[in-house]
Structure 1
Amino acid sequence: MSGRPAFDPYTPLMVLKPFADDIWTMDGPEIRMNWLGLKIPFTTRMTLVRLPDGGIWVHSPTGQDGMVMDAVESLGPVRHLVAPNSIHYWWLPQWHARFPDARVHGVAGLSQKAKRHLPPLEVLRATAPTGWAGTIDQVIVPGDVVTEADFFHRPSRTLILTDLIENFEPQRIRSRVLRFLMRLTGAVDPDGQAPIDLRATFWRHRASVRAAVEQMIEWEPDHIILAHGRCYDKDGVGELRRSFRWVL
């Protein structure tokens, strides 16, 4: 891939965008991930939730810009930094350095898998910790390569996913080659899913994945926030049934 941006960005970048009551998203810089010797570009998105005590819950903290951290802190004191899977963790050290009193949460095994030193992590389990229990529910989706924690904000009926659905919009992908590759993976709008190579890594765990998806459906979300691509602002249950038909 060239150094030219691969996507038309979700501008403005690094700006708080209200999504629902007490929820904001922030679209971050394009990053590039190693895949079969290629540098595959991805858009990035951070999600912020204001908890009933006024504290801020930060999902997949993005970037290390001080002005971004100032903007997040303007919402309230940062109390929780969440690495939702074994890929989305890179900026945790910078965020923890800025907010040393925040609790840092990650999936099991992340400290051992991470390619950089991370602050001590509280392991995410199937039951929400005291910091957000009753406001945000969660479920763990285990996999051979990626284990992901997914979250449901009860007051706004918003599901927050990371890589289990990717929904890249073809019209935002500038390269025909990349657009073709993304279509092959099955991770493009309007039929976004987990990329086919990622789906394969969950094969041995499909019973657990199915149970997790059934829990998400039982929550009956109205909205779904995604880390990559277009989010869903309606019919959350229908989108879940469509996107996870490979395991249901």
Structure 2
Amino acid sequence: MTCLIPYEPLNALKPIAENVWIVDGPEIAMGYVVGTLPFTTRMTVIRLADGALLLHSPTPLSEDLVEALAALGEVRILVAPNRLHFWWIGEWKARFPNAIAYAAPGVREAAKDRFSGFDAELCDEAPAAWAGEVELFPLVGSYMTELELFHVPSKTLVLTDMIENFERDRVTCRHMPPLLKIGGVLDPNGSTPRDVRLTFLGHKKKLRQTVKEMLERKPERVLIAHGRCYLANAEAELRRAFRWLL
């Protein structure tokens, strides 16, 4: 039994801004000490000026999606942005072997039993091929490093797990809303999950600096992997979501 209403249609491109799309994927179960919790999934697609397509946190590959992407450009870049978001990158690499598969620090070790074909690790700076189009903001913690992307032309900030924002009317299991509220991830007050915050306790100074740098870009929209994205008042929502840090 599912506990979340999916963001249908699934496995379909949804335009967000010029040269930016999202693809909503299936529900997954995330394991915790006390059991599992369901999560919706989401991929972001960015088209660079040369026609290269960047897939951030890829969702499952489907033939219809491959066909839709082919109408936009060529899949050349695959990004696993943190150690929890790599699950389907292998099937995309198999279908597009010439694409460069990038891993955030820690992903290779976490993914080794499922996919070992990463071409490079992303750390502090975006590759030269992205210059002027996509900026990289690494958020470094003790458990994971998450790579945030900023698409400069559209002023779109792409996050993964550092903000989660589950909508109450999309949650169908009665036990979940209290857990989401306690965790700090229930819309309209979505934020960094409290368990994730704990993994940044020894890294808050650097994290605060990087979040401020993201705010300085004045994003017009913030995309996230789990829950409702911020397509309006993005800068204010970003500041609110990180008020525990700022």
TM-score by length of structure 1 reads 0.95
Cα distance in structure 2, aligned partners of 1:202 and 1:73:
39
Aligned to 2:140: 142
Is 1:118 paired with 2:116?
yes
Question: What secondary structure, in the 3-state scheme, does the structure 2 residue paired with 1:29 have?
Answer: strand
CA displacement 1:21-49 (0-9 Å, x = unmatched): 00010100000010114121000010001
Aligned to 1:60: 57
Aligned to 2:159: 161
CA displacement 1:49-88 (0-9 Å, x = unmatched): 1100011010001013233223223311101000011110
Aligned to 1:47: 44
Is 1:23 paired with 2:20?
yes
**Contact 2:43/2:58, CA 8 A, preserved across alignment:** yes
Question: What secondary structure, in the 3-state scheme, does the structure 1 residue paired with 2:147 have?
Answer: strand
Aligned to 1:243: 241
Aligned to 2:203: 205
Aligned to 2:6: 9
Unaligned runs of 5+ in 2: none
TM-score by length of structure 2 reads 0.96
CA displacement 1:138-191 (0-9 Å, x = unmatched): 110011222100011111111000000000001110011011111110101111
Question: Amino acid of the residue matched to residue 83 of structure 2?
Answer: S
Cα distance in structure 2, aligned partners of 1:64 and 1:36:
30
Deviates further, 128-137 or 95-104:
128-137
**Contact 2:105/2:144, CA 8 A, preserved across alignment:** no
> Out of 219, 226, 234, which is 2:232 matched to?
234
Question: Amino acid of the residue matched to residue 205 of structure 2?
Answer: A
- CA drift of 1:233 comes to 1.0
CA displacement 1:190-248 (0-9 Å, x = unmatched): 11001111111111111111011011001110110111111111222211111111111
Aligned to 1:91: 88
Aligned to 1:216: 214
Give the count of matched residue pairs. 245
**Contact 1:34/1:40, CA 8 A, preserved across alignment:** yes
- CA drift of 1:108 comes to 1.6
Question: Amino acid of the residue matched to residue 91 of structure 2?
Answer: Q
Question: What secondary structure, in the 3-state scheme, does the structure 2 residue paired with 1:131 have?
Answer: helix
Cα distance in structure 2, aligned partners of 1:180 and 1:121:
41
Question: Amino acid of the residue matched to residue 131 of structure 2?
Answer: A
**Contact 1:224/1:233, CA 8 A, preserved across alignment:** yes
Question: Amino acid of the residue matched to residue 157 of structure 2?
Answer: L
**Contact 2:103/2:118, CA 8 A, preserved across alignment:** no
> Out of 69, 75, 80, which is 2:77 matched to?
80
Question: What secondary structure, in the 3-state scheme, does the structure 2 residue paired with 1:90 have?
Answer: coil
Superposition CA RMSD, Å: 1.1
> Out of 117, 129, 132, which is 2:130 matched to?
132
Cα distance in structure 1, aligned partners of 2:142 and 2:63:
35
**Contact 1:92/1:118, CA 8 A, preserved across alignment:** no
CA displacement 1:81-139 (0-9 Å, x = unmatched): 00011110011111000000001111122212224232133111222102212101111
